[in-house]
Chain A
Amino acid sequence: MEANETHDVVVIGGGPAGLAAALGARRAGAGKVLLVERDRTLGGILNQCVHDGFGLFLYNEAISGPEYAERLIDDVVREPIKVETGAMVLDITPDRVLRINSRSGYRLVRAGAVVLAMGCRERTREMIEIPGTRSAGVFTAGSAQNLVNLQNLRIGNEAVILGSGDIGLIMARRLVFEGVAVKGVFEILSWASGLERNVRQCLMDFGIPLELRSTVVEIRGRDRVESVVVAKVDDKLMPIPGSESVIPCDTLLLSVGLIPENELSKRAGVALSPFTGGAVVDERFMTSVSGVFSCGNVLHIHDVADWASFEGFAAGESAARYAAGERPAGATVRITAGPNVKYALPQLVTAGTAGVEWNFRVGRPLRNVQVVVKGKATEKVYARKKFGRLLPTELQKIKVRPAVEEDLEVSCHE
């Protein structure tokens, strides 16, 4: 089978990052842009996020997920962008031939540049190895959000939520609205992993207890969940014997982390970072495979959709330039995470580039922090920024104005 169809830029995924990437590609002059979305409609996970809080940075107002999606979609349909929904990219070769399947046919497509924007998936019960029975009633928070918000299904009557990720917090409130008794949110760490505003607005305002340093150690119930056993954990996050208590419930929601979904990226040969779970990229968001770009949650997990969109615009623009034949000249320098920093992104920069903005995330909550970007060889300080406090849940940014000429390190000091 031959690839008889060619596009300048193919964007994979029609969520907040992919929609923006398609728009970015057009802005930078790409003629033929194809946007492929596996769901029946554009919008991605935004469609099931009926709560508000989206758009604060992109539109300067708080709107719901579907409204946020609608604005981006309106812009996309105004452009001559070919949109294909209900279509899934099954494979990408390193020379950018894509295998696409949809109800209208199975075909091979060749791309001048590819933007990966597939988003992420949720960590499962099995990944965190919760022992017990395999009864019905254990849902990941995002699946539950789909079933409740898009399919109007009642997933339970009494729920326990493990993990304080944002979707878990949002779902705690959502379930209360639907008359489900939420018995508590249990978080293994000493801090909530979701945004502070969500802890306040979704738990505290509704009197839902948040138990830190505790976890679910067993699921009970033969057919449907009948109870879960929770326990406190020690400093090594191991359950403390004797601290167990049994909580009767018929539903367990898991909000225990998101993983960039890079199955396709791996097939194309894209190098991944063990710290982000996403591709290693340069300042153009290009991966280790020439002509393949990455943005949004497939690159690294964002706490706010707006940032995924900003990344999408940038990656789409870069992809368009690549498709037009533009190649940056110069060696690459490497940026590494220093003390207290979990990761800094992009990991690579073309030497001589000025004005690069880095995303970074800290490994633990910090107060009165000085963030420093330093040259590894010269110890020259390229940028410095002060923060009252930094939380691991929040993606932060620091801009380096001067041209980068050497390997850098980003570090945080209390």
Chain B
Amino acid sequence: MGETKNADYDVIVIGGGVVGCAVLRELSRYSLKLLLLEREADLAEGISKGNSGVIHAGFNVPAGSLKAKTNVAGLGMIYGLADELGVPHRKTGKLVVALADEDRRRLEELKAEGDKSGVPDLEIVDEAAIRRLEPLARGRWALYSPHTGIISPYEFTVALAECAGQNGAEVLLEAPVEAIVCRDGLFQLLTPKGTFAARRVVNSAGLFSDDVARLAGIDNYRVFPYRGEYLITDKDCGLRLDLPVYPVPPRDDPGLGIHITPTLEGNIILGPSAEPVDDKRDAASTRKVMAHLKAEAVRLMPELSRVSFIHSYAGIRPKLVDPSGKDKFGDFIVEESAFRPGWISLVGIESPGLTAAPAIAELVAGMIGVKMDIRPKPEFKPERPRRTRFAHLGDDERAGRVAGAADWGEMVCRCEHVTRAEVVAALRNPFGARTMDAVKRRTRCGMGRCQGGFCTPRIVEILQDEELPADRITKRGGGSRLFYGRLKG
């Protein structure tokens, strides 16, 4: 921590979630000196890691809202962007099912809203079509959205930042903004890693965007944390879900209702719940909600009653709607402060923020472009090479890899078939994220059914080989240390 630096930038982005990283990558097209500050030890450690990983089509939000506009625009961009960045994704389509005839009206309302927003190709389908599209789903009627998809939200976030990094942007982890000095249009951001100054700041601090704004003297936002708990099945649970299946959104649910979503690897995710919590970092799971998730998911897919789960997790939504329930809808806030010109606030970016991120990034770049003379860099490289996964390679490719570098021959994770080469590549990421969770999210080590029982000791060894002393090995940075020193000599 001793090493601090002070430097000036054209734009500083606060927050390394999917929105902040999308903004950073969009701005890296231009001749700007860029920095992203992230408080945690890795990117995507907040809202961006704890969601369903769904690329939304845009019918769940009121037409005309910024949520709807950026969602539909984002949908038009995200598949191409994921291809450019080498991020695994799949256009699956999605079903919103009505279990009873009387819910068909709700589906028609959703479709009408979607049509109004310009969501393409929505269709109301009957029971037979539901069976054909997803044999495991139940329902009388469904809204079918063919352009909905799935993506790994943290891989997408990391890829956006790495692409920005390739194009000259800097990213600093474990750099929470603790104080801000505003003087003559210049923002000086004080962090444990140094003081950084810029005339333009994009506040994309997610759950903490209101707190960060307050540091700059902007006191007009309040973010309410709503926890969403999830359960995830073993990918060999015997059930293969092809596309996300949602219920008709319950009127009293602050989310979209408990749904079931496939992952790219073949697991099934159940969730999320939606309940206000006091602490913005309280991502605990509760016995009550775990039972509730199962009960709700079984209504959509009865076969789920006999599968076992390998993991639970929770995410926190940054809602602008007060839990007292006075307002029903809070739109995304994307605006420049009138009080602090040059300060751009991105507040309340909850669902569908993952899909909307590329569109929000374009909006932000536009806002900055109006104020500054920004020129596209001819050398901008939009691509990022796709990560090689040993598990996905054919026999000849595997043999070739191992012959070229022996690390491809050393299996570290036996459930997900991850090699030492992949772990080492993950540890040598450009921003120095070297936590256990950083390895897990980049390689899938520990995401299998043994949940790290076998690979944790192996990764601990590799981390030390990569010169991270045991004392500094953490699960996700901060105080999440794994060890208290050595036992003997």
Give complex CA distance A408, B414 in Å. 38
Q: Mark B389-408, 1 if CB is under 8 A from A, else 0.
A: 00000011011011100111
Q: Is the CB of B284 within 8 A of A102?
A: no
What chain A residues lie within 8 Å of B489 (beta carbons)?
A: 152
One of B281, B406, B451 near A126 (C-beta < 8 A): B451
What chain B residues lie within 8 Å of A88 (beta carbons)?
A: 411, 414
Q: Is the CB of A131 within 8 A of B411?
A: no
The answer to whether residues A153 and B470 also contact, given A101-B402, A125-B451, A136-B482 and a CB cut-off of 8 A, is yes
**A207 in the interface, Cβ–Cβ < 8 Å?**
no
Number of A-B contacts (CB under 8 A): 149
What chain A residues lie within 8 Å of B284 (beta carbons)?
A: 131-134, 218, 220
Say how far B179's CB is from chain A's closest CB, in angstroms: 23
Q: Is the CB of A136 within 8 A of B480?
A: yes
In chain A, residues 105-157, which have Cβ atoms closer than 8 Å to a Cβ of chain B? Answer: 105-108, 121-122, 124-127, 129, 131-137, 139-140, 142-143, 146-148, 150-157
Q: Mark B449-482, 1 if CB is under 8 A from A, else 0.
A: 1111110110011000000001000111011111
Give complex CA distance A38, B413 in Å. 11
**A380 in the interface, Cβ–Cβ < 8 Å?**
no
**A74 in the interface, Cβ–Cβ < 8 Å?**
no
Q: Is the CB of A1 within 8 A of B396?
A: yes
Which stretch, B195-203, B270-278, B304-312, B358-366, touches the partner chain A?
A: B304-312
Q: Is the CB of A38 within 8 A of B414?
A: yes
User: What is the interface size of chain B, counting residues whose CB is below 8 A from a CB of the partner?
Assistant: 58
Q: Is the CB of B480 within 8 A of A108?
A: no
Q: Is the CB of B236 within 8 A of A266?
A: yes
In chain B, residues 273-325, which have Cβ atoms closer than 8 Å to a Cβ of chain A? Answer: 281, 283-287, 290, 308-313
Give complex CA distance A1, B397 in Å. 10
Give complex CA distance A103, B284 in Å. 40
**B183 in the interface, Cβ–Cβ < 8 Å?**
no
Q: Is the CB of A217 within 8 A of B488?
A: no
What chain B residues lie within 8 Å of A125 (beta carbons)?
A: 451
Q: Is the CB of A126 within 8 A of B486?
A: no
What chain B residues lie within 8 Å of A107 (beta carbons)?
A: 399
The answer to whether residues A151 and B461 also contact, given A129-B290, A135-B480, A217-B287 and a CB cut-off of 8 A, is yes
**B410 in the interface, Cβ–Cβ < 8 Å?**
yes
Say how far A119's CB is from chain B's closest CB, in angstroms: 10
Q: Is the CB of B309 within 8 A of A126?
A: yes
**A86 in the interface, Cβ–Cβ < 8 Å?**
yes
Q: Is the CB of A178 within 8 A of B487?
A: yes
Say how far A77's CB is from chain B's closest CB, in angstroms: 23
**A205 in the interface, Cβ–Cβ < 8 Å?**
no
**B77 in the interface, Cβ–Cβ < 8 Å?**
no
Q: Is the CB of A106 within 8 A of B409?
A: yes
Q: Is the CB of B399 within 8 A of A106?
A: yes
Query: Residue of B at shortest CB range from A156?
Result: B484
One of B286, B395, B407, B479 near A106 (C-beta < 8 A): B395
Give complex CA distance A148, B485 in Å. 11
The answer to whether residues A134 and B457 also contact, given A38-B414, A104-B409 and a CB cut-off of 8 A, is no
**A32 in the interface, Cβ–Cβ < 8 Å?**
no
The answer to whether residues A122 and B453 also contact, given A107-B399, A222-B281, A223-B478 and a CB cut-off of 8 A, is yes
Q: Is the CB of A153 within 8 A of B406?
A: no
Give complex CA distance A88, B309 in Å. 26
In chain B, residues 122-158, which have Cβ atoms closer than 8 Å to a Cβ of chain A? Answer: none
Give complex CA distance A263, B478 in Å. 36
Give complex CA distance A224, B475 in Å. 9
Which among B283, B406, B450 has the highest number of chain A CB atoms within 10 Å?
B450
Q: Is the CB of A154 within 8 A of B486?
A: yes
One of A106, A121, A129 near B398 (C-beta < 8 A): A106
Query: Residue of B at shortest CB range from A48?
Result: B457
Q: Is the CB of B402 within 8 A of A105?
A: yes
Q: Is the CB of A99 within 8 A of B395?
A: yes
Say how far A175's CB is from chain B's closest CB, in angstroms: 10
**A403 in the interface, Cβ–Cβ < 8 Å?**
no
Give complex CA distance A266, B414 in Å. 15
What chain A residues lie within 8 Å of B454 (beta carbons)?
A: 121, 143
One of B417, B453, B461, B487 near A154 (C-beta < 8 A): B487
Give complex CA distance A33, B449 in Å. 31
Query: Residue of B at shortest CB range from A222?
Result: B281
User: What is the interface size of chain A, counting residues whose CB is below 8 A from a CB of the partner?
Assistant: 52
**A331 in the interface, Cβ–Cβ < 8 Å?**
no
Q: Is the CB of A103 within 8 A of B483?
A: no
Q: Is the CB of B481 within 8 A of A153?
A: no
Q: Is the CB of A224 within 8 A of B479?
A: yes
The answer to whether residues A106 and B287 also contact, given A38-B414, A126-B312, A154-B485 and a CB cut-off of 8 A, is no
The answer to whether residues A152 and B482 also contact, given A88-B414, A131-B286, A136-B475 and a CB cut-off of 8 A, is no
**B415 in the interface, Cβ–Cβ < 8 Å?**
yes
Q: Is the CB of B451 within 8 A of A124?
A: yes
**A90 in the interface, Cβ–Cβ < 8 Å?**
yes
Say how far B405's CB is from chain A's closest CB, in angstroms: 9
Give complex CA distance A33, B399 in Å. 23
Say how far B233's CB is from chain A's closest CB, in angstroms: 11
Q: Is the CB of B461 within 8 A of A105?
A: no
Q: Mark A1-13, 1 if CB is under 8 A from B, else 0.
A: 1000000000000
What chain B residues lie within 8 Å of A137 (beta carbons)?
A: 482
Give complex CA distance A224, B436 in Å. 13
Give complex CA distance A136, B451 in Å. 13
Q: Is the CB of B309 within 8 A of A136?
A: no
Q: Is the CB of B402 within 8 A of A152?
A: no
Give complex CA distance A148, B489 in Å. 13
Give complex CA distance A1, B399 in Å. 9
What chain A residues lie within 8 Å of B408 (beta carbons)?
A: 101, 106
What chain B residues lie within 8 Å of A154 (beta carbons)?
A: 483-487
Say how far B331's CB is from chain A's closest CB, in angstroms: 31
Say how far A131's CB is from chain B's closest CB, in angstroms: 5
Say how far B270's CB is from chain A's closest CB, in angstroms: 13
The answer to whether residues A122 and B411 also contact, given A101-B402, A154-B484, A222-B281 and a CB cut-off of 8 A, is no
Say how far A55's CB is from chain B's closest CB, in angstroms: 25
Query: Residue of B at shortest CB range from A225?
Result: B480
The answer to whether residues A122 and B402 also contact, given A38-B411, A88-B414, A155-B482 and a CB cut-off of 8 A, is no
The answer to whether residues A133 and B283 also contact, given A104-B409, A106-B398, A124-B450 and a CB cut-off of 8 A, is yes
What chain B residues lie within 8 Å of A218 (beta carbons)?
A: 284, 287
Say how far B464's CB is from chain A's closest CB, in angstroms: 9
Q: Is the CB of B450 within 8 A of A122?
A: yes
Which among A1, A107, A134, A142 has the highest number of chain B CB atoms within 10 Å?
A134
Q: Is the CB of B457 within 8 A of A143?
A: yes
Give complex CA distance A1, B309 in Å. 36
What chain A residues lie within 8 Å of B409 (beta carbons)?
A: 86, 101-106
Q: Mark B327-366, 1 if CB is under 8 A from A, else 0.
A: 0000000000000000000000000000000000000000
Query: Residue of B at shortest CB range from A86?
Result: B410
The answer to whether residues A103 and B395 also contact, given A129-B290, A152-B487, A155-B482 and a CB cut-off of 8 A, is no
Q: Is the CB of A121 within 8 A of B453?
A: yes
Give complex CA distance A90, B285 in Å. 34
Besides the contacts A129-B312, A153-B486, what 10 more A-B pairs have beta carbons closer than 8 Å?
A38-B414, A88-B414, A90-B411, A103-B409, A104-B406, A126-B312, A132-B284, A151-B460, A154-B487, A222-B479
Q: Name A residues whose Cβ lies closer than 8 Å to a Cβ of B.
A: 1, 38, 86, 88, 90, 99, 101-108, 121-122, 124-127, 129, 131-137, 139-140, 142-143, 146-148, 150-157, 178, 217-218, 220, 222-224, 263, 266
A-B contact pairs, 5 of them (CB 8 A): A131-B285, A143-B457, A153-B470, A217-B287, A223-B476
Listed from nearest, the 9 A-B pairs whose CB atoms lie closest are A223-B479, A136-B475, A1-B395, A103-B406, A103-B409, A223-B480, A136-B480, A88-B411, A124-B451
